[in-house]
């Protein structure tokens, strides 16, 4: 499988003018604002039109170092539908700029299943993340200015929870002290920076359904609490920040239209983290897709325990979305790693390891099915996979109640996704799924967490630190007991222990903190340490990047 590098494929591609791509889904000049020749923002009104499309979620088994290719499969599947003559639209997240300079380089699919223009999408794109950064920074500046100007709201500086943000892997900003220098230079306090996908403004933008809804959610952000035993929450609206923040997001809120490598329409919009946030592209982009496409392919972060659960219980709930089918991406390499095989030995047939690891797939199938979803396992094929291995996975998938098809979209583009696409079309032809969320948001917080741990993770329930117990009582006391719960835990295991691969049983998940993300409309239950500001490696990928005389880029792989 000799495939050129992602950027080589991307730069060799002949892009269609985005106006042509738009025309194909019925969008004219009035529906678009161009950002160069190959990117556009669509009108917000598009998201208010009635949905006509079927919604297909792409999710995955637990990720491993071997890689699964969820985004690549999503792009390839959208391309495959188009090859079959369907009016398919792709809806995925925007990548963050920071990680581009670290280890991994670009992130917009791979091989012959990418979204283009790959370099722009990975760099500033249409400026959405910068706008989110500005809106976030404005609230931070207004908050510290309030302290500086006399603190009329009686905010306890030790209890400020609103961080600062930057879209860069900048380890040295994880923990800082600000406001030094004397009375004219602010109030001294501890502060932390998070990378922009971890910003609550990102989650809000991804969940907002209109300008008004955006402003209201921004106003609901809790930035900290007052001095005193009652710890009254302080909202962004108490600082009158929500209007100006919404103003800064007036263009960022509009979905971005780009194209797949094969020239099909793709909405790439918003990119919240998949652990401390809900890990999905924006509701507005998905709605826009459903308004103009017959089939909308979308994805959610990490495995089905994190991404799909949040897609179903948070995004679909808030957005009134009814997904019609699901695709579960797996690789034999990753299943073997789940069964204990070493990363260096994945090229060898290993039916023992596969047998031990395939239980992870079985669990994810059961998980997706319990939401009422019909699904296809897309086995992302590598040339090292043997027939015996493929047969074993196929049998396991069928036994667990899923269809299965091979996917080769990385090497073959849409052509390589036709088998999966046909299975999805068959599900849709037979009436699709009977989706329902897994819990009632009105249940007490602990009961919701318990439901997720037992049903989605296959565990025996949750244990709570003293801090988490206090936090839950506090959140219920300030009226946040009836929101969905966003679980923040490791993506590598169904449990909260990254080393427990496969399908662990008999475990409890430890919730060490629970905190409000009240603007977005959920609370986060944190299980373990979650990194919200990455660092750079010893030799950052940035060192090889350059812009050439003609303005083209090299080194962004």
* Binding-site annotation, residues for ATP: 64-71
Number of residues that bind its own copies (CB under 8 A): 80
270 binds its own copies (CB under 8 A): no
Cis peptide before 117 (omega within 30 of 0): yes
Burial of 490 (0-12, 13-18, 19+ CB in 10 A): buried
Binding characters for its own copies, 91-130, by CB under 8 A (x = yes): ------x---x---------------------xx--x--x
Nearest Cα residue to 295 out of 499, 118, 536, 79 = 79
**Nearest C-alpha neighbor of 8 from the set 101, 116, 121, 100:** 116
Look up residue 511 and give its two tokens: 């919730």
Please, what is the minimum distance in Å from the beta carbon of residue 63 to its own copies?
A: 23
CA-based end-to-end distance of the chain: 18
Q: What is the DSSP string of 343-370?
A: GGGTTS--HHHHHHHHHHHHHHHHHHHT
> Is 498 near its own copies (CB under 8 A)?
no
Asked if 173 touches its own copies (CB under 8 A), the answer is yes
User: Which one of 15, 84, 137, 441 is in contact with its own copies (CB under 8 A)?
Assistant: 137
Binding mask 4-43 for its own copies (x = CB under 8 A): -----------------------------xxxxx---x--
- Indicate which single residue of 23, 174, 231, 322 sits in contact with its own copies (rule: CB under 8 A): 174
Question: CB of 166: closest distance to its own copies in angstroms?
Answer: 6
User: Tokens in use for 226?
Assistant: 């007052």
Q: Which is nearer to its own copies, 153 or 545 (CB)?
A: 545
Shortest distance (Å) from residue 132 CB to its own copies: 11
Q: Which of 85, 181, 431, 506 binds its own copies (CB under 8 A)?
A: 181
Among 20, 48, 212, 440, binds its own copies (CB under 8 A): 212
User: What is the token pair recorded at 308?
Assistant: 């799909």
Of 105 and 110, the one with the shorter C-beta distance to its own copies is 105
Nearer CB in complex with its own copies: 67/540: 540
CA distance 281 to 361: 24
Residue 108 DSSP symbol: S
Instruction: Map the footprint of its own copies across residues 415-474, applying CB under 8 A.
Output: none
- List the one residue out of 255, 289, 246 whose CA is nearest residue 42: 255
Question: CA 518 to CA 219: how far, in whole Å?
Answer: 9
* Strand pairing report for 403-407 and 375-380: parallel
Residues 306, 452, 223, 467, Cα dihedral to 10°: -120
Closest CB 349 distance from its own copies, rounded Å: 39
Nearer to its own copies by Cβ, of 86 and 164: the residue is 164
The answer to the question of residue 49 lying near its own copies (CB under 8 A) is no
Residue by residue, what is the 3-state secondary structure of 440-493?
A: CCCCCHHHHHHHHHHHHHCCCCEEECHHHHHHHHHHHHCCCCCCCEEEECCCCC
Q: By CB under 8 A, is residue 553 in contact with its own copies?
A: yes
What's the min distance (Å) between Cβ of 252 and its own copies? Answer: 8
149 scored as a contact of its own copies (CB under 8 A): yes
Residue 528 as a binder of its own copies (CB under 8 A): the answer is no
Largest CA distance in the chain: 72
Find the shortest distance in angstroms from Cβ 162 to its own copies. Answer: 12
- Give the shortest CB-549-to-its own copies separation in angstroms: 6
| One of 91, 246, 353, 404 touching its own copies (CB under 8 A) | 246
**Interface residues for its own copies in 389-418 (CB under 8 A)?**
none
C-beta of 85 vs 551, nearer to its own copies: 551
Using rule CB under 8 A, residue 178 touches its own copies: yes
Decide: is 366 part of the binding site for its own copies (CB under 8 A).
no
Closer to its own copies at the Cβ: 146 or 278? Answer: 146
Q: Report yes or no: 195 and 168 within 8 Å, Cβ to Cβ.
A: yes
Neighbours of 151 (CB within 10 A): 14
């Amino acid at each position: 499988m000799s495939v050129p590098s992602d950027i080589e494929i991307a730069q060799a591609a002949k892009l269609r003018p985005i106006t042509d791509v738009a025309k194909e889904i019925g969008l004219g000049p009035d529906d678009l604002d161009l950002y160069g020749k190959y990117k556009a923002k669509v009108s917000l009104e598009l998201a208010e039109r009635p949905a006509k499309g079927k919604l297909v979620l792409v999710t995955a088994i637990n990720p491993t170092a071997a890689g699964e290719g969820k985004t690549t499969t999503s792009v390839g599947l959208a391309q495959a539908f188009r090859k079959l003559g369907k009016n398919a639209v792709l809806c995925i997240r925007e990548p963050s700029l920071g990680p581009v300079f670290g280890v991994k380089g670009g992130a917009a699919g791979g091989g012959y299943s990418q979204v283009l223009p790959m370099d722009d999408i990975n760099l500033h794109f249409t400026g959405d993340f910068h706008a989110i950064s500005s809106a976030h920074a404005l609230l931070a500046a207004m908050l510290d200015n309030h302290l500086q100007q006399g603190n009329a709201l009686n905010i306890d500086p030790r209890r400020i929870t609103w961080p600062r943000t930057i879209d860069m892997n900048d380890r040295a900003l994880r923990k800082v002290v600000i406001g030094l220098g004397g009375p004219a230079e602010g109030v001294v306090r501890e502060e932390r920076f998070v990378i922009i996908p971890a910003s609550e403004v990102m989650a809000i933008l991804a969940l907002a359904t209109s300008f008004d809804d955006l402003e209201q959610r921004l106003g609901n952000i809790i930035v900290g609490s007052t001095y005193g035993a009652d710890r009254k929450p302080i909202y962004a609206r108490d600082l009158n920040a929500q209007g100006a923040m919404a103003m800064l997001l007036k263009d960022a809120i509009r979905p971005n239209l780009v194209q797949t490598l094969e020239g099909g329409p793709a909405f790439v919009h918003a990119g919240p983290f998949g652990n401390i946030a809900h890990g999905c592209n924006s509701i507005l982009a998905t709605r826009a897709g459903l308004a103009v496409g017959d089939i909308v392919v979308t994805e959610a972060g990490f495995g089905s325990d994190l991404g799909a659960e949040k897609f179903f219980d948070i995004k679909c709930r808030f957005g009134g979305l009814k997904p019609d089918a699901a695709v579960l991406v797996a690789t034999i390499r990753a299943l073997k790693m789940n069964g204990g095989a070493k990363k260096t030995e994945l090229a060898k047939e290993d039916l023992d390891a596969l047998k031990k690891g395939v239980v992870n797939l079985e669990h994810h199938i059961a998980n997706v099915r319990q939401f009422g979803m019909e699904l296809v396992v897309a086995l992302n094929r590598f040339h090292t996979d043997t027939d015996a291995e493929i047969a074993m996975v196929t049998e396991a998938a069928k036994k667990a109640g899923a269809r299965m098809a091979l996917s080769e979209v990385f090497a073959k583009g849409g052509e390589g996704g036709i088998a999966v696409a046909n299975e999805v079309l068959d599900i849709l032809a037979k009436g699709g799924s009977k989706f329902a969320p897994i819990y009632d948001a009105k249940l007490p917080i602990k009961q919701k967490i318990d439901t997720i741990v037992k049903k989605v993770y296959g565990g025996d329930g949750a244990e709570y630190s003293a801090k988490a117990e206090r936090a839950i009582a506090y959140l219920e006391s300030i009226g946040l007991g009836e929101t969905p719960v966003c679980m923040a835990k490791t993506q590598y295991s169904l449990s909260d222990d990254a080393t427990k691969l496969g399908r662990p049983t008999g475990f409890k998940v430890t919730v060490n903190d629970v905190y409000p993300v009240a603007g977005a409309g959920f609370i986060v239950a944190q299980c373990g340490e979650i990194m919200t500001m990455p660092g750079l490696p010893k030799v950052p990928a940035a060192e090889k990047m350059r812009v050439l005389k003609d303005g083209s880029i090299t080194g962004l792989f």
